[in-house]
Amino acid sequence: MSEFPLHKVPASFSDAHINAEMYREMYRRSIDEPDAFWAEQAEKFLTWDKPWDTVVEADFLQGKAEWFAGGKLNASVNCIDRHLPQCADQTAFIWEGDDPADSKHITYAELKDSVCKLANVLRERGVKKGDRVCIYMPMIPEAAYAMLACARIGAIHSVVFGGFSPEALKDRILDSDCQVVITADQGLRGGKKVPLKANADAALEHCPDVHTCVVVQRTGGDIDWQDGRDVWYHEATAAASADCEPESMDAEDPLFILYTSGSTGKPKGVLHTTGGYLLQAAMTFKYVFDYREGEVYWCTADVGWVTGHSYIVYGPLANGAISLMFEGVPTYPDAGRCWEVVDKHQVATFYTAPTAIRALHAVGDEPVTRSSRASLRLLGTVGEPINPEAWEWYYQTVGESRCPIVDTWWQTETGAHMITPLPGATDLKPGSASFPMFGVNLALLNEDGSEIEGPGAGYLVVKSPWPSQIRTVYGDHQRLIDTYFSTYPGYYFTGDGASRDEDGYYWITGRVDDVLNVSGHRMGTAEVESALVLHDKIAEAAVVGFPHDIKGQGIYCYVTPMDGVEPSEELRKELIALCVKEIGPIAKPDVIQWAPGLPKTRSGKIMRRILRKIAENELQNLGDTSTLADPSVVDNLIENRAS
């Protein structure tokens, strides 16, 4: 499958939490005796107010799963309070600011005070168990305080990535009926200010039910203020008590909603619950990163994505770990920043996205090799397939062929790692996410839904429930069933294609649906299309992905202007601006091609397969075009292909 060599488990991991034999035995048990396996893990990793009655009850046909029903616990207590007797003065977060001169340590005791104060502020403003709170924040510790403050009082947080536009923010606030928003005056990334409060103000014009907007002062920049609604974080928390009685939650009470893109319609509010989610985030954190007490662990994701939820906040804190949170970007002030931070804070584990690795690789070795990186023990990647060349550079140049790489495959919907090497157990094949994690029962299906035995390629599905699985799409359970549990009844459909080699290693090939993965950010082609056709000069649009050296996938848009409208550079710019306005800078199209017509079947369905091939410049390989209503459309698109 790959000409790249196998990398054996290094001797330095011979005393890892999980070795190869333990992996095999624990995996077998987790599949054969899931109740016993997960009950043990739940006792080991979490502190419960009350034990559960049943471990799991699930029905994939209904998209239903209940884990640890009857059990009670609080996520913030599990992430903070229970560590205090031994670890009050230990660092919970190291915060590294955008400016290299700016960093601080936050201990578990300080974390508890900050979380409780904010929780009390929210309670005073009327937030109760089950209420939704929107968090629209830069990468500052207050983002984590806000999540944990919600968890403490049983409110459901909905973190919206700080790079989303006011439009996107508004849609998410309204969809889950958030009545409180927590934001900052401005964010700071790569030396540039991000107008978060101004964006929130614009969104809130359309959200009359939001009664409170808590504002963290990050830059001190000028902002507008609405008396009564807007509250300064520093003023409100200064007056609040540092003790806050936690709400004892049912294991199945919601912990958070996180919006993610699908192949159709608007983003879905993926809902995760308390017990199962926290358990699997905690367990995978410890085993996949082979976490050792006192080590510094750094995940470069944003808390606006699931990786930030599970592997900056909940997983690390549930293990009493030291989690580094970085406000900036890997290339500011220059491409050596990550490795400077590794040396500065003696980082042992570095977990990032392939797009960042490719971008840093492109700059060359010097920014890496001028640092020591002696503290590094383990590397990780997440978010998209990693090409073996980038993997090898990461392994050899960054990790000096000494640090294993855990290539972790999972999704917002899965809540935690699903397929991943374990550094003390798995010989690594560059580009393969390798084996399923404990309790993850995988299959590859043929088009007709039959299971592939042994080596082969097909649709990646999960055969049985796992604790951190998505519970519902907020407000639309039918959409959960339709999206994940109907394509192949009895299975959870991931939307990804994968192959399995003769050694049982899984190789993820990417999405098989109309979901793009641009720099690790998930985006529905339908979302970009809807933005484009909002322009009154545009009749129709079709969006596909194409291979991009750094971003993994770029956004290629075929756009049909209204009759009589002449395409122009100005119109192109307006369309790009429209995508940025509607979704955010991550949705900026890479290519806009004017298309007098789109290839459609006689029943009017756009044949995206052909559009993808043209975007990829695979013109020899267009496949059957005979079913098109007007095959000449394709010739025109090829002739005018944007390069």
Give the phi and the psi of residue 288 in degrees, each rounded to 5: -70, -40
162 carries a ligand binding annotation: no
User: Do 146 and 118 form a contact (C-beta atoms < 8 A)?
Assistant: yes
Which of the ranges 69-77, 130-138, 236-244, 410-418 carries the binding residues for ligand WTA, by CB under 6 A? 410-418
C-alpha dist (Å) from residue 291 to 102, 106, 350, 565 = 26, 19, 12, 60
User: Do 199 and 185 form a contact (C-beta atoms < 8 A)?
Assistant: no
Q: In whole angstroms, how close is the CB of 408 to ligand WTA at the nearest point?
A: 5
Closest alpha carbon to 93 in 72, 103, 80, 107:
107
307 carries a ligand binding annotation: yes
List the structure tokens of 507: 């190789």
List the structure tokens of 434: 């390798």
Residue 600: strand pairing partners: 606
Q: In whole angstroms, how close is the CB of 602 to ligand WTA at the nearest point?
A: 32
* CB atoms closer than 10 angstroms to residue 32: 9
Residue nearest to ligand WTA (CB): 412
Which of the ranges 19-27, 317-325, 382-390, 468-476 carries the binding residues for ligand WTA, by CB under 6 A? 382-390
Closest alpha carbon to 72 in 283, 246, 216:
246
List the structure tokens of 348: 């042992």
List the structure tokens of 496: 């990804």
Residues 252-271: x/- map of binding to ligand WTA (CB under 6 A)? Answer: --------x-----------
- Closest to ligand WTA by CB, 247 or 496: 496
Q: In whole angstroms, how close is the CB of 474 to ligand WTA at the nearest point?
A: 15
Q: In whole angstroms, how close is the CB of 502 to ligand WTA at the nearest point?
A: 20
Q: In whole angstroms, how close is the CB of 419 to ligand WTA at the nearest point?
A: 7
Rg (CA), the chain: 24
List the structure tokens of 567: 């395409």
Alpha carbons 546 and 517: distance in angstroms, whole number: 10
Alpha carbons 304 and 139: distance in angstroms, whole number: 9
C-alpha dist (Å) from residue 1 to 387, 420, 458 = 13, 18, 15
409 carries a ligand binding annotation: yes
User: Do 148 and 76 form a contact (C-beta atoms < 8 A)?
Assistant: yes
Q: Is 553 in the site for ligand WTA (CB under 6 A)?
A: no
Residue holding tokens 């119109």? Answer: 571
Please pick, from the candidates 412, 432, 483, 593, the single residue that binds ligand WTA as defined by CB under 6 A.
Answer: 412
603 carries a ligand binding annotation: no
C-alpha dist (Å) from residue 578 to 167, 261, 571 = 11, 18, 10
163 carries a ligand binding annotation: no
- Closest to ligand WTA by CB, 148 or 353: 353
Q: Is 382 in the site for ligand WTA (CB under 6 A)?
A: yes
Please pick, from the candidates 377, 522, 551, 613, the single residue that binds ligand WTA as defined by CB under 6 A.
Answer: 522
C-alpha dist (Å) from residue 629 to 136, 597, 625, 635 = 46, 11, 9, 13
189 carries a ligand binding annotation: yes
206 carries a ligand binding annotation: no
Q: Is 433 in the site for ligand WTA (CB under 6 A)?
A: yes
Please pick, from the candidates 12, 411, 487, 530, the single residue that binds ligand WTA as defined by CB under 6 A.
Answer: 411
Which H or E element spans position 8?
A: none
User: Do 282 and 44 form a contact (C-beta atoms < 8 A)?
Assistant: no
Q: Is 384 in the site for ligand WTA (CB under 6 A)?
A: yes
Alpha carbons 392 and 380: distance in angstroms, whole number: 13
Beta-carbon contacts of 530 under 8 Å, excluding residues fewer than 6 positions away, are: 582
User: Do 444 and 500 form a contact (C-beta atoms < 8 A)?
Assistant: yes
Please pick, from the candidates 136, 410, 491, 556, the single residue that binds ligand WTA as defined by CB under 6 A.
Answer: 410
- Closest to ligand WTA by CB, 328 or 383: 383
Q: In whole angstroms, how close is the CB of 267 to ligand WTA at the nearest point?
A: 11
38 carries a ligand binding annotation: no
- Closest to ligand WTA by CB, 115 or 418: 418
Alpha carbons 119 and 146: distance in angstroms, whole number: 8
Please pick, from the candidates 308, 316, 320, 383, the single residue that binds ligand WTA as defined by CB under 6 A.
Answer: 383
Alpha carbons 252 and 254: distance in angstroms, whole number: 6
- Closest to ligand WTA by CB, 172 or 522: 522
Q: In whole angstroms, how close is the CB of 165 to ligand WTA at the nearest point?
A: 18
Q: In whole angstroms, how close is the CB of 499 to ligand WTA at the nearest point?
A: 12
Residues 295-324 that bind ligand WTA (CB under 6 A): 305-307
Which of the ranges 4-12, 169-177, 214-222, 409-417 carries the binding residues for ligand WTA, by CB under 6 A? 409-417
Q: Where are the alpha helices (DSSP H) in 187-333?
A: 196-204, 233-238, 274-288, 306-308, 315-318
User: Do 284 and 315 form a contact (C-beta atoms < 8 A)?
Assistant: yes
> How many chain residues interact with ligand WTA (CB under 6 A)?
23
Q: In whole angstroms, how close is the CB of 239 to ligand WTA at the nearest point?
A: 38
463 carries a ligand binding annotation: no
Residue type present at position 442: L
Which of the ranges 279-287, 377-385, 422-430, 480-488 carries the binding residues for ligand WTA, by CB under 6 A? 377-385
Please pick, from the candidates 385, 524, 545, 599, the single residue that binds ligand WTA as defined by CB under 6 A.
Answer: 385
C-alpha dist (Å) from residue 80 to 254, 287, 342, 630 = 19, 20, 25, 63
383 carries a ligand binding annotation: yes
Residues 499-518 that bind ligand WTA (CB under 6 A): 508, 510-511, 517
Q: In whole angstroms, how close is the CB of 304 to ligand WTA at the nearest point?
A: 10
Q: In whole angstroms, how close is the CB of 517 to ligand WTA at the nearest point?
A: 6
401-412 b/e with 16+ CB inside 10 Å = b? Answer: eebbbbbbbbbb
- Closest to ligand WTA by CB, 81 or 407: 407
Alpha carbons 90 and 109: distance in angstroms, whole number: 8
Q: In whole angstroms, how close is the CB of 536 to ligand WTA at the nearest point?
A: 33
496 carries a ligand binding annotation: yes
Q: Is 409 in the site for ligand WTA (CB under 6 A)?
A: yes
Q: In whole angstroms, how close is the CB of 522 to ligand WTA at the nearest point?
A: 4
511 carries a ligand binding annotation: yes
Query: Annotated binding residues for Mg(2+), as ranges?
Result: 533, 535, 538
Which residues form the interface with ligand WTA (CB under 6 A)?
A: 260, 305-307, 382-385, 407-412, 433, 494-496, 508, 510-511, 517, 522
Query: Annotated binding residues for ATP, as ranges?
Result: 383-385, 407-412, 496, 511, 522
Query: Annotated binding residues for CoA, as ranges?
Result: 189-192, 307, 519
Query: Annotated binding residues, as ranges?
Result: 189-192, 307, 383-385, 407-412, 496, 511, 519, 522, 533, 535, 538
